[in-house]
Structure 1
């Protein structure tokens, strides 16, 4: 059987934000090009949600409705022929269990992928920069801890402005040097507190920070997620 016939179809649930979906779509395509060459491209099914609706629900703590919306998107992706599912987001993995329960195809959970990458490099304590929900809620941190990876986050008083920078700047593709410098200062503090690596725990944060900006080893969660999805699709 040739590679095209054996390649699995990756199901994507995106729109959180469209900048995030763009990164996933681009990197999956360039990743297949690197691995297979020629005219190869990945088999994808993509469903995107309305980010304004999702963020309004998030602001109202209506996670049950968010779970239903993403589960509906996931079932549509499954019906369209996806072999496994990827949520193009960190924050909304908060409802990953509800989404996974709604489909019969496997969900490639971001935290599992990230934990494996951290442990492969001997990093058992890592810093996390992401949305307020990702840094404060246990859905991501606790799942990492189940793999033996502990997480430290910036002080609580910094969570609000990081969240604002993500939602008011980065989701619109606006990257400011002033924001980058401020985040780099927080990374230095996480290193002082014992972090052996840094999780870029939001797709949009990868637009702001990369390894050239900090001395602490960086784990770009979206890049790791994409690589794991390609591993699975091409296995």
Structure 2
């Protein structure tokens, strides 16, 4: 939901459309760029109810504007996915279901999920992976605290530091030592500090996978 992840989605979807449909092709999209300042670090029921209302209103507006499928460009906001999906008649493509399908396709049996605190600790995201018989390492609170700080205090405001890159590399190395066969980037901004294609473990970049699902839909292959 940060403008940074919106930019990444826009770029990834268009690059994939161009690669598959031709150099002059681009993706027909409607984008509702929401103000993330009131939707960060939510914890109370009232805060999540407000987030659900904001996203449901946005989804209805997109459907009214002609959207034939909808993506929520934020992993954490999939906590209110069911309410958003119920608010519209068009499909809402679930990011964790896309990631889980890709991991199952690659034969991953044991993985680690990293992202914001609620993505790592709550069941709404994890259960989508477990439903595909993917065993998830239990979240380590030290990693949870570090990742939550990096995401909210740095990445969401566009701040990328060598220190954050080193901390992520240490976390990924530890996850490999703990037995993870792969790691899910359960935050759309984490690709800013993780070398997705050059790491100690296979990295499943949720944004790239979600964007691919959008392109499949756009090109009539989804």
Is TM (by shorter chain) over 0.5? yes
2:5 to 16, 20, 23: 20
Scaled by the length of structure 2, the TM-score of the pair is 0.94
User: What residue number does 1:3 align with?
Assistant: none
Cross-structure match for 1:167: 152
| 1:34-56 deviation per Cα after TM superposition (whole angstroms, max 9, x unaligned) | 11123211110111211011127
How far residue 211 of structure 1 moved from its aligned partner, in angstroms, is 3.1
Q: CA deviation at 1:153?
A: 5.0
Give the aligned CA root-mean-square deviation in angstroms. Answer: 1.4
1:198-213 aligned at under 5 Å gives the runs: 198-213=183-198
Deviation at 1:173, TM superposition (A): 1.9
Describe how 1:97-176 pairs up with structure 2 within 5 A.
97-176=82-161
Name the CA distance, whole Å, in 2 between partners of 1:166 and 1:65.
22
How many residues end up aligned between the 2 structures? 219
Q: Could you say which residue in structure 2 is the equivalent of 1:13?
A: none
Inter-CA distance 229–212: structure 2 relative to 1 (3 Å threshold): closer
Structure 1 partner of 2:52 = 67
Q: Which residue of 1 aligns with 2:209?
A: 224
Instruction: Report how far residue 224 of structure 1 moved.
Output: 0.5
What is the aligned partner in structure 1 of residue 33 from structure 2?
Answer: 48
Question: CA separation of 1:63/1:108 partners in 2, compared to 1, >3 Å: closer, same or farther?
Answer: same
Contact kept, 8 Å, 1:90 with 1:203, in 2: the verdict is: yes
1:185-204, Cα deviation, whole Å (9 max, x unpaired): 11112112221111111111
| TM-score, reference length from structure 1 | 0.89
Matched-pair contact (CA < 8 Å) for 1:129–1:153: no
Aligned partner of 1:7 in structure 2 is: none
Runs of at least 5 residues in structure 1 that lack an aligned partner in the other structure: 1-15
Query: Which aligned segments of 4 or more residues in structure 1 are displaced greater than 3 angstroms?
Result: none
Residue 84 (structure 1) aligns with: 69
